[in-house]
Structure 1
Amino acid sequence: MRIYRVLYRQARALMEQRLDYYSQFNPSPLSMQQFTDFGENATNRDSFLFLRKELPVRLANIMKEFHLLPEKLLHMPSVCDVRDLYRMSFIDLLEFEDGSCSNSSILDKFTDTLLKIRNRHKDVVMTMAQGVIELKDAHSINANTEANIQYFLDRFYMNRISIRMLINQHTILFGDGVHAQNHIGCIDPHCDVVRVIEDAYANARFLCDQYYLASPELVIKYHNEKDKATKTIKEAGAPGDKTPASVVYVPSHLYHMLFELFKNSMRAVVEHYGTSTDVFPPVEVLLVMGHEDLTIKLSDLGGGIPRSQMDLLFNYMYSTAPQPAVSGLDTPPLAGYGYGLPLSRLYARYFHGDLMLTSCEGYGTDAIIFLKALSSEANELLPVYNKTCQRQYSTPVQTHDWSSQSHSAMFIRPFSTNSRNKHNQGKNSLSG
């Protein structure tokens, strides 16, 4: 037994040493165009040589941030489980650190290892969410702790998205799985945005009908700025219309965002008007293809959201719906743990897009997804472990006075030497 403890300590020390080593390097962000070029031209060996270094770097960068989390959170059972999963995956990848790739069996083993890692981490989002719930149930959470958890989870989940993207690309391209037609890995170089919108709506509507026995209709309009002959907004799906917009993108990422937004909108509309009515105002989607951005605006008349709650919508510890019951029968399937919107925003920002909400309380809400129209500009947004992020965890939340907020530019202007003199002269004349 003593020998096993010694071997365990040695293995743990070696892992920590390699963790320190790989965390010194920054991740290498790829653009959507690089993903597609690599997928079309690279070999299994090329992918292996890149991933056996890049994946440990991305894992190490986020694993080092675990040490910066509040101690109380680190001791929660679910968080400990997540840390153990990451350690196992990191150790699995170290096996290929310096090995030769001339043997095809090594390449096959590496692909199998990536599949094992992906399956191992499939429930990480909910496991980490459970860890936060455990913390809330056991301890009171102050503003500093909440800010640190929010900061970490944004970075943790973004890191997870990026790692799954790399793993999916490799396993789809070089594994034995079924390849989607005309896709490059999980990327569709001609992603039909309208089709993804309609699929997300149909599945969200199925859930809404299942629970409320009613749902709002969908209206899609589009405007393509690139096509000067079709500047006017048209009803999508009209006879003779061709696909209004396509983009190089990951359909599953776009679907995830849209499905979440449709769920929220449908629930808001039905609950705002009540199930006694026969006709609900439709959920409208405006699709605009610009020169730089592809914009999707989803608008509902579901009663809107008070301004006091807007900032909370992207908080991982907040949800407008009650927490789902264990049986899953007492809460609408359209509602969840409050992670849908913040995760959807991360998917949008992953390739330098964004997701924003605006609302008129008492009327309705607009949700806007921005995507990069050019694949060369759609670069990965990756968290990096460095001194800047370390300071973020150690800096206490500041209490600002009202004039130091974002709108302070409306009240305070910088003065040049000339304007300062004029200002002083004005003060003297006023005081005189």
Structure 2
Amino acid sequence: MVVLVLCTIRVQHQSAEIRDSKSLSLVIFVSFIDLFLLFGKRFASTMKFVRFLMKNAALANVPKHIDHFSKFSPSPLSMKQFLDFGSTNACEKTSFAFLRQELPVRLSNIMKEINLLPDRLLTTPSVQLVQSWYIQSLMEILDFLDKSPDDHRVLGEFVDTLVTIRNRHNDVVPTMAQGVIEYKEAFGQDPVTSQNIQYFLDRFYMSRISIRMLINQHTLIFDGATNPIHPNTIGSIDPYCEVAEVVRDAYESAKMLCDQYYLGSPELELQELNTNKKGQHISIVYVPSHLYHMLFELFKNAMRATIENHEASSTLPPIEVMVAIGGEDLTIKMSDRGGGVPFRKIERLFSYMYSTAPTPQIGHHQRAPLAGFGYGLPISRLYAQYFQGDLQLYSMEGFGTDAIIHLKALSTDSVEKLPVYNKTALRHYKMSQEADDWCVPSREPLNLAVYRVAK
């Protein structure tokens, strides 16, 4: 009201000096623009402040939401259930209703465990950034809890939100790895902390794999697009995934990298043994991208070891791959003659804390996946374990290494392996270093002279 009076006075004062009616109209028009801009600025400032208050109120409620949803155990799905969700009779409303409850449960369970990490690791910029991504994603999904699945706009917004969340979390693995590096450089490492970090990261990355699986299935199935290269896939799942074809794809990709770096590469010898349907190619219900990731990592390691172990030779021994399927299991064995690894170092190859590779730049998308962090093998093992399989290494030092991938042959047996936050998990983070209940040999040989009996 005060502003309106001031504008009126301004118009009256100027109208006494301006005799032209057009000029007077212009002054009045400009005065009302001043009024509009003044109120507009105040309104915008007020709305910005309101949004700030609402955001902070929502952030203040995040711990309550995490506490609430972490009390529920995640609901693991089988490969068959994933197929049913994405079949021709797939219902977007059903998937929406399930995900808006299940995603907060999976996010909250692992977010409770993040807070159990050492304080000095939690305060690293990289880990804080990852935490902020998870909090933001949780808040965005919670916005859909009270929205109607019958509204098509809501369903469309949900797909868009899931895509945004997926893109936001693209760099979670290297960012968390950077946090571990920052922690090691600042504080070093001890056995207890290393054990806790290993336990957490296995569960954290497994949770991430499962969340991306849910998001990919929903967005790929209900965005209305069809994969032109693999039209028979249901989301990211191929009901007839030909294992040998994925083996060859992974080999060719690794061979290309190897040829660029070493100017040569070992050949592939591939065999299939189908005991269920003799003479036919082996196929299972699986996620081709997961299998490709595992095989690509194993091929890279096998090729590097083979070339470096046969530098003086004019020929390279081939990498042999055997694919076999039985009533329960599908097994892939990759054998190289790269000199092998000492037995005591095998488990270290799966450790997140023992990478000696140089630190890569985050966001450098021209690199091979996870290059420089030494996370290739541990993440590959998680992909195998995700649907109740495994990845194991058996090495003969001086000769070579056998890498074996175990997968479930039946889609009903391929069930998600998911971490759950409970008292058992909590105890893992509270374990302290105790005395070993097996004798630990001394670094110095035992001096038996002290036991010599005088003659």
TM-score bin (small chain): 0.7 to 0.9
> Conserved in 1, the CA contact under 8 Å of 2:370 and 2:376?
no
Select the residue among 37, 59, 70 that pairs with 2:84.
Answer: 37
Instruction: State whether structure 2 residue 356 is matched by structure 1 residue 341.
Output: no
User: Which residue of the partner structure matches residue 159 of structure 1?
Assistant: 207
Select the residue among 308, 317, 323 that pairs with 2:358.
Answer: 323
Aligned to 1:402, the other structure's residue is in SS state coil
For residue 299 of structure 2, what is the amino acid of its counterpart?
F
Shift of the alpha carbon at 1:3? Answer: 7.6
Aligned to 2:317, the other structure's residue is in SS state coil
Tell me, in whole angstroms, the C-alpha distance in 2 between the residues paired with 1:220 and 1:60: 44
C-alpha deviations, 1:40-89, integer Å up to 9, x for none?
03211111011010001000100111111100100000000000000000
User: Which residue of the partner structure matches residue 430 of structure 2?
Assistant: 394
Instruction: State whether structure 2 residue 299 is matched by structure 1 residue 262.
Output: yes
For residue 289 of structure 2, what is the amino acid of its counterpart?
S
332 and 171 in structure 1: CA distance in 2 versus 1, 3 angstrom threshold:
closer
For residue 297 of structure 2, what is the amino acid of its counterpart?
E
Shift of the alpha carbon at 1:137? Answer: 0.9
Residues 295-304 or 2-11, more deviating: 2-11
Shift of the alpha carbon at 1:403? Answer: 6.7
Tell me, in whole angstroms, the C-alpha distance in 1 between the residues paired with 2:208 and 2:433: 26
Tell me, in whole angstroms, the C-alpha distance in 2 between the residues paired with 1:325 and 1:31: 36
Instruction: State whether structure 2 residue 66 is matched by structure 1 residue 16.
Output: no
For residue 42 of structure 1, what is the amino acid of its counterpart?
A
Tell me, in whole angstroms, the C-alpha distance in 2 between the residues paired with 1:382 and 1:397: 27
Select the residue among 212, 215, 222 that pairs with 2:262.
Answer: 212
How is 1:300-311 mapped onto 2 (pairs within 5 angstroms)? 300-311=336-347
399 and 247 in structure 1: CA distance in 2 versus 1, 3 angstrom threshold:
farther
User: Which residue of the partner structure matches residue 293 of structure 1?
Assistant: 329
Select the residue among 206, 220, 225 that pairs with 1:172.
Answer: 220
User: Which residue of the partner structure matches residue 415 of structure 1?
Assistant: none
Tell me, in whole angstroms, the C-alpha distance in 1 between the residues paired with 2:169 and 2:82: 23
49 and 151 in structure 1: CA distance in 2 versus 1, 3 angstrom threshold:
same
Aligned to 1:90, the other structure's residue is in SS state helix
Select the residue among 128, 132, 144 that pairs with 1:80.
Answer: 128
273 and 116 in structure 1: CA distance in 2 versus 1, 3 angstrom threshold:
same
Tell me, in whole angstroms, the C-alpha distance in 2 between the residues paired with 1:326 and 1:9: 33
377 and 333 in structure 1: CA distance in 2 versus 1, 3 angstrom threshold:
closer
Select the residue among 236, 240, 244 that pairs with 1:194.
Answer: 244
Return the index of the structure with the highest Cα Rg.
2
Tell me, in whole angstroms, the C-alpha distance in 1 between the residues paired with 2:54 and 2:158: 25
User: Which residue of the partner structure matches residue 375 of structure 1?
Assistant: 411
Tell me, in whole angstroms, the C-alpha distance in 1 between the residues paired with 2:382 and 2:435: 27
> Conserved in 1, the CA contact under 8 Å of 2:334 and 2:403?
yes
Residues 5-14 or 187-196, more deviating: 5-14
For residue 251 of structure 2, what is the amino acid of its counterpart?
Y
User: Which residue of the partner structure matches residue 73 of structure 2?
Assistant: 26
166 and 226 in structure 1: CA distance in 2 versus 1, 3 angstrom threshold:
same
Tell me, in whole angstroms, the C-alpha distance in 1 between the residues paired with 2:196 and 2:368: 30
Select the residue among 259, 272, 279 that pairs with 1:222.
Answer: 272
Select the residue among 232, 240, 253 that pairs with 1:182.
Answer: 232
Tell me, in whole angstroms, the C-alpha distance in 2 between the residues paired with 1:113 and 1:252: 23
334 and 20 in structure 1: CA distance in 2 versus 1, 3 angstrom threshold:
closer
TM-score (norm 1): 0.86
Tell me, in whole angstroms, the C-alpha distance in 1 between the residues paired with 2:147 and 2:370: 48
User: Which residue of the partner structure matches residue 235 of structure 1?
Assistant: none
Tell me, in whole angstroms, the C-alpha distance in 2 between the residues paired with 1:317 and 1:334: 14
Aligned to 2:346, the other structure's residue is in SS state helix
For residue 119 of structure 2, what is the amino acid of its counterpart?
E
C-alpha deviations, 1:272-323, integer Å up to 9, x for none?
111x53310000001111110000000000000001211101101223x632
147 and 344 in structure 1: CA distance in 2 versus 1, 3 angstrom threshold:
same
Aligned to 2:148, the other structure's residue is in SS state coil
Extract unaligned runs of 5+ from structure 1: 231-240, 405-432
Percent identity, aligned pairs only?
55
User: Which residue of the partner structure matches residue 414 of structure 1?
Assistant: none
Tell me, in whole angstroms, the C-alpha distance in 1 between the residues paired with 2:371 and 2:151: 49
For residue 279 of structure 1, what is the amino acid of its counterpart?
T
Q: How many residues align?
A: 387
